[in-house]
Amino acid sequence: MSEQQIAKQLSLWEQGPMERELQARGERKESFATPSGIEVKRLYTPLDLEQAGQDYNRDLGYPGQFPFTRGKDPLGYRANHWLFMQYAGFGDAAEANKRYRYLLAHGGTGISIALDLPTQLGLDSDDPLADGEVGRIGVALDSLQDLETVFDGIPLDQPRQISLVANAMSSVGLAMFVALAKKQGVDPAKITLRIQNDILKEFISRGTYIYPPGPSLRLSCDLIEYCARNHPNWLPLTLCGYHLREAGSDAVQEVAISLADGLAYLDEVAERGVDLEKVLPQLSAFMSVNMNFMEEIAKFRVMRRLWARLAKERYGVKDPDKLGLALVNFTAGSSLTAQQPMNNVVRVAIECLAGVLGGCQSLFPCSYDEAFCTPTEESVKLALRTQQIIAHESGLADTIDPLGGSYFLESLTEQIEAKVRELLDETEKQGGAVKCIENQWFRRQIDESAYEWQKKVDAGEQVVVGVNAFTEDVEPAIEIFRPPVEAQQRQINKLKTLRASRDPDLVEAALNKVAAAAREGSNTIPAMVEAVEAYATIGEICGTMAQVFGLYRESGL
Amino acid sequence: MARKRRVLMAKPGLDGHDRGARIVSMGLRDAGYEVIYTGRRVTPAQIVSAAIQEDVDLIGLSILSGAHMTLFGKTLDLLSEQGAGDIPVFGGGIIPPDDAIKLKKMGVKEIFGPGTSLPAIVAALEQHLPPANGG
């Protein structure tokens, strides 16, 4: 059928049945738009793709090949399902170990280690600032000893992937894994370790930075460089859109800012002479799956395609088929409601579907009780079951990119990419991601989006079921998880015993090497591995570096 | 001219999730308040000294990490120790219902959980303030 024939039939429909219904009933709203402000038309047809100039081979192509619009893997989920991940870890290392064993026994295929805030910020558990936070939102890792306990009875090569949510102290985390692999006698080449290591987004959204942006970027790049030279199969950087989205950005900003951050790391690593052809295939992106189903799916396709295009354009990559970005999708915590919490089970299921239809490599579902507390064992299990139902019962995993070719989806994909490119151009004009962090431009963009969204919800323009519509006077009570209160004291006691049992000269010598590497500008990781092996604590190692780099303090609003 | 009502918005502890604190700050600003936001990672002592120095009418605390019992408690204790126990304190974040009841018994005036609208927050805070002098 030719375009002209379609156009002719379309206009007959528009003037006929459509117009009659419009006159007779009208529509629910005057206009429809996605949350990132893209107008949603009444109907999409092949003409929209024609108008957007979409060219199948150039813009969609084939799975596992540049530009990866239809997926990263040539076999999609026909070979393996995505990794069923659960973000878990609380209390002390022994409790975390118990929970990881439980998840692995119930069919979980990957482990993601959540760290408590003191650890993420490089503070020992007995630091006065850590009071009340030890073991709260993750496990405390004061030293290598704690990681040994976390993996007691779990060889590092048993889970298909281990991921560590570490950013400001990612290099110390990496050093601990290097040391543990040695101790367990496991070949590092058989371990798949993913370290988040995206410090730039911490300044824009999540807030767990230690040092100022400059030295922070350097440490992240030390890790990337070290992995490229020593453990080329590890995953040294995950570009994080998730936290930007949770901070209130829209889907377009989520993609644009995380891509801009990604370019900042690669520019720096390239300057050090690291072979980018080795690094690029190891990168992944950690993205939010929010509630607007089609916009989210389109967003994932844009994230993969645009990253591949940018990397190819900017770094002159020889083999663009290696530029497939692995997507780690996490359902949106901020879409969960405290009101009528069981409704969150449905939200999580919808978001998981979008994550899968977007072609993710790993998927983390939230648990329905997360608007109140760290999830209970039951709610975590239900979240895992949600993925299993999608994987085994829905049939969506049986063909690659089942929604590819949807007029609406393809149209959204083209429009989102164009909007992201505009924002990226603006970022470049301002001097790149680090500049836009320093001058707070990213934060202002996100604040505006967050505030607009809140006002729409407050005004009832955006319905959130149970919150501003279909509310109930009496809220059902749900079971609340309580991290064991003794965890903090137990952790502190363990730390004190450790400090008394180490060889102090060995620790001091190792810390001096860390300081020297930090001062001299050489790669800090080898010195950190030595320090970790001497059982230097996270507080000692990060404190040593803070003496060289200084601590970062943000200004107010 | 009447002085604007002043509120100190603070993120005690180590938690960096400040979307809530920032949105509430913007909302209160649009509702006519003068808002002083501390930025992230401040100690109870820093909050109390800023509150006294800035002579605020209200203090808002936001925590999502679960450390609310410890940090709200410390802030309230320090406020009364320093003779500023009359400044109303409100809070928000990821706070289980039982804890919200306990915090109110400890003296926190309002706890705003996820899903609370900005107009509801503004209306609730009005009740804890003396009428603006001069109007």
Nearest to B40 among A130, A137, A554 (CB): A554
| ipTM rounded to 2 decimals | 0.92
Average pLDDT over residues A22-27: 96
Please report the sign of the dihedral spanned by the C-alpha atoms of residue A69, residue A74, residue A80, residue A86.
Answer: negative
- Whether A424 and A259 have beta carbons less than 8 Å apart is answered as yes
d(CA A59, CA A64): 13
Q: How many Å apart are CA B5 and CA A381, to the nearest integer? A: 48
Window 101-130 of A: residues touching B by CB (8 A cutoff) are: 117-118, 120-121, 123, 129-130
Q: Are the beta carbons of B19 and A248 separated by less than 8 Å?
A: yes
With CB atoms and an 8 Å threshold, state whether B19 touches A450. Answer: yes
A118: in domain: yes
- Cβ distance B9 to B36 under 8 Å? yes
Structure tokens at A166: 């570490």
**Cβ of residue A476 closer than 8 Å to a chain B Cβ:** no
Strand, coil or helix: what is A83?
Answer: strand
Is pLDDT above 70 for A530?
yes
pLDDT at residue B134 above 50? no
Distances A290 to A36, A52, A257, A402 between C-alpha atoms, Å: 12, 25, 17, 19
Distance, CA of A491 to CA of A494 (rounded, Å): 5
Task: Give B19→chain A minimum CA distance, Å.
Answer: 5
Instruction: Note every long-range contact of A345-349, with CB atoms under 8 Å and residues 24 or more positions apart, other chains counting.
Output: A345/A382, A345/A386, A347/A291, A348/A383, A348/A386, A349/A386, A349/A389, A349/A390
- Cα separation of B118 and A454, whole Å? 8
Which residues from B are below 8 Å from A when comparing CB atoms?
A: 9, 13-19, 22-23, 25-27, 35-41, 43, 65-67, 69-71, 94-98, 113-115, 117-119
Token pair listed for A264:
């900042």
Q: With 80 as the cut, is the pLDDT of residue A244 above it?
A: yes
Q: Give the pLDDT confidence score for residue A89 in this predicted structure.
A: 56
pLDDT of residue B135: 42
The per-residue pLDDT for A284 is 95
Please check whether residue A310 touches B, CB under 8 A: no
Percent of chain A with pLDDT over 70: 98
Question: Tell me, what amino acid is at A536?
Answer: A
Three-class DSSP category at B18: coil
Residue A194: beta bridge partners?
A163, A235
Predicted confidence (pLDDT) at residue A524 exceeds the cutoff of 90: yes
The closest CB to that of A450, out of B22, B35, B39, belongs to B22
Task: Please give the single-letter amino acid code of residue A186.
Answer: V
CB contact under 8 A, B18 and A555: no
End-to-end CA distance of chain B: 9
CB contact under 8 A, A457 and B117: yes
Is A529 inside a domain boundary?
no
* Interchain contact, A450 vs B13, CB within 8 Å: no
pLDDT band at residue A478 using 50, 70 and 90 as cut-offs:
confident
Looking at beta carbons, which residues of chain B come within 8 Å of A555?
A: 39
Average pLDDT over residues A54-59: 97
Please, which pLDDT band fits residue A90 given cuts at 50, 70 and 90? Answer: low
Q: Which residue in B has a C-alpha nearest to residue A133's C-alpha? A: B67
Q: What is the C-alpha to C-alpha distance for residues A76 and A74, in angstroms, rounded to an integer?
A: 6
Q: Which two tokens stand for residue A327?
A: 């997507």
Quick check: is A323 in a domain? yes
CB distance B66–A136 less than 8 Å?
Answer: yes
Q: Residues 422..461 of A with a Cβ closer than 8 Å to B: which?
A: 447, 450-451, 454-455, 457-458
Whether residue A325 is contained in a domain is answered as: yes
pLDDT tens profile A327-362: 999 999 999 999 999 999 999 999 999 999 999 999
- pLDDT band at residue A383, thresholds of 50, 70 and 90? very high
Facing B13 at nearest CB: one of A133, A336, A464: A133
Give B99→chain A minimum CA distance, Å: 10
Judging by DSSP bridges, how do beta strands A362-364 and B110-112 pair with one another? unpaired
Contact call for A132 and B70, based on CB within 8 A:
yes
Q: What is the CATH number of the domain that holds A288?
A: 3.20.20.240
For the domain B6-126, what is the CATH code?
A: 3.40.50.280
Nearest Cα residue to A91 out of A494, A539, A547: A494
Range of the domain at A345: 56-458
**Structural domain includes residue A239:** yes
Write down the pLDDT at residue A110.
Answer: 82
Q: How far is residue B90's CA from residue B87's CA, in Å, rounded to a whole number?
A: 10
Residue A159 to chain B, least CA–CA distance (Å): 28
Q: How far is B118 from chain A (nearest CA, A)?
A: 7
How many domains are there within chain A? 1
Cross-chain Cβ contact B18/A121 below 8 Å: no
Give B80-120 pLDDT, tens digit per residue: 999 999 999 999 998 988 999 999 999 999 999 999 999 99
- Domain membership of residue A15 (yes or no) is no
The mean pLDDT of A431-455, rounded to a whole number, is: 95
Show residues of chain B in contact with A339, CB under 8 Å.
115
Shortest Cα distance, chain A CAs vs residue B1, angstroms: 25
Q: Mean pLDDT across the stretch A229-257?
A: 97
Asked if B26 contacts B74 with a C-beta cutoff of 8 angstroms, the reply is no
SS3 B9: strand
Determine the residue among B14, B47, B75, B94 to mutate to test chain A binding: the one whose Cβ has the most chain A Cβ atoms within 10 Å.
Answer: B14
Q: What is the pLDDT of residue A557?
A: 61
Candidates B16, B25, B37; nearest CB to A207: B16
* Overall average pLDDT of the A79-95 stretch: 81
Model confidence band, residue A22 (pLDDT cutoffs 50, 70, 90): very high
Q: Which residue has the higher pLDDT, A485 or A88?
A: A485
pLDDT at B67: 87
Q: Say if A8 falls within a structural domain.
A: no
pLDDT band at A86 (very low <50, low <70, confident <90, very high): confident
In a domain, A115, yes or no: yes
Measured CA to CA, the distance from residue A297 to residue A412 in angstroms comes to 9
Least confident of A155-159, B59-63, B66-70: B66-70
Q: Is A169 near chain B, with CB under 8 Å?
A: no
Task: Inform me whether the C-beta atom of residue A244 falls under 8 Å from chain B C-beta atoms.
Answer: no
Neighbours of A132 (CB within 10 A): 23
